[in-house]
Structure 1
Amino acid sequence: MNFDQITEPIDRRLADGLTRLAAVARQLDWQAAESAGLSPTQADILRFVANRPQGARLTAAAAHAGVRKATASDAVAALGRKALVHKDADASDSRAVALKATAEGNRVAQAWPSSFAPIVAGLSETEQETLLGLVVKMIRQLQQRRLIAPQRTCVTCRHFRENVAPGTSTPHYCAFVGAPMAERHLRVDCAEHESAA
């Protein structure tokens, strides 16, 4: 018996496995959201806004959450009624509105459990570092193909210098901080991010 002939292609099995992991994470999000009196979309938008103290536009929040602008608008209205988010004038465009988290919104966002934490907890530190590198790579590819909203990852930042010291434990360099970086230092959402494009 040759398993290559009877086994589904690896990309299919990997996709199926990731779908199952995402379902577990989403279920954990629903449980956390329900106990906090939020929907997962409201929680996702709240965390997105709280990580942007300068404010975030509704379109960016909708793209991040993967929902339509009208759905995001409803979620923001609910967050406003719960005094977790407020609208403010956008510093870069006086005609636009910036969403900002209130003090209570920041507290809720900071206390929010990571739904994938129990999923990656079973991996060793080395495995987590490898997985982080792969996740960042996948996000970059999705962003290049315009299948995901722009992300504040290291690899898309103008301060990031990729693989400037190949073969070392810290092959990358961050010009913003002025320090070498290892794969484990890569960020998926960096507050100091400035787009390289």
Structure 2
Amino acid sequence: MNLDQITEPLNQRLARGLARIAAVARQLNWQAAEVAGLSPTQADILGFIANRPEGVRLTKVAAHAGVSKATASEAVAAMERKGLVRKYADASDGRALALTATAEGRRIIQAWPSGFAPIVAGLSQAEQEALFGLVVKMIRQLQQRQMIAPQRVCATCRYFRENVAPGTTTPHFCAFVGAPMAGRHLRVDCAEHESAA
């Protein structure tokens, strides 16, 4: 018997497996959000804002969360009432508003448990590094296909030099810090990111 003929295609099995893993992580995140008195959308938005101490506009918040500007505005208003975020006039455009997390909002996010942490904890260091490389690749491809909001990933940063030392343990280079990088050093949300485009 040839199992390739009776087994559903690998891409379908992989997609189902990833969906199951994401469902577990989402459930863990929902439980953590409930404990913190937040909706899952509010928790996601708060994390995004807290990781941008320079402030961020509502349009970027909505794009990150994959929700309408109205939904993002409602979530931000609720968190503003809870004292977790604040609005202020954007320095680059006084007519626009920017958002930043309060000290309490940052405290909640710093203590936030990642829903994926217990999932990846069962993998060895080498397996985590291999999976991380694939995650970075998928984020990059999604961004190129405009299926995800722009991310502050190394691969799209003007300081990133990809594969300048092939065949070494640190093939990449970060011109911002002036240091060689291995795949495990790549970041998926770097505060120093500046778009290469």
Aligned residues with identical type, % of pairs: 79
Letter in 2 for 1:43: A
Report the alpha carbon displacement of residue 94 of structure 1 after superposing the two structures with TM: 1.5
Unaligned residue ranges in structure 1 (runs of 5+): none
| 1:62 correspondence with 2:67 | no
Deviation of 1:18 (Å) = 0.6
- SS of the residue aligned with 1:70? helix
* Structure 2 counterparts to residues 20-39 of structure 1, below 5 A: 20-39=20-39
5 Å-filtered alignment, 1:1-197, equals 1-197=1-197
Deviation at 1:26, TM superposition (A): 0.7
- TM-score, length basis structure 2: 0.99
Q: Which contiguous aligned blocks of 4+ residues in structure 1 show a shift greater than 3 angstroms?
A: none
Aligned alpha-carbon RMSD (Å): 0.6
The answer for unaligned runs of 5 or more in structure 2 is: none
Deviations 1:51-101 (A, max 9, x none): 000001111111111111111111001100100000011122211111000
Structure 1 length as normaliser, TM-score? 0.99
SS at match of 1:141: helix
User: In 2, distance between residues paired with 1:76 and 1:119?
Assistant: 30
For 1:13 and 1:92, locate their aligned partners in 2 and report how far apart those are by CA, in whole Å. 48
The total of aligned residue pairs comes to: 197
Q: Secondary structure at the match of 2:88?
A: strand
Matching residue's letter, 2:175:
A
Q: Secondary structure at the match of 1:43?
A: helix
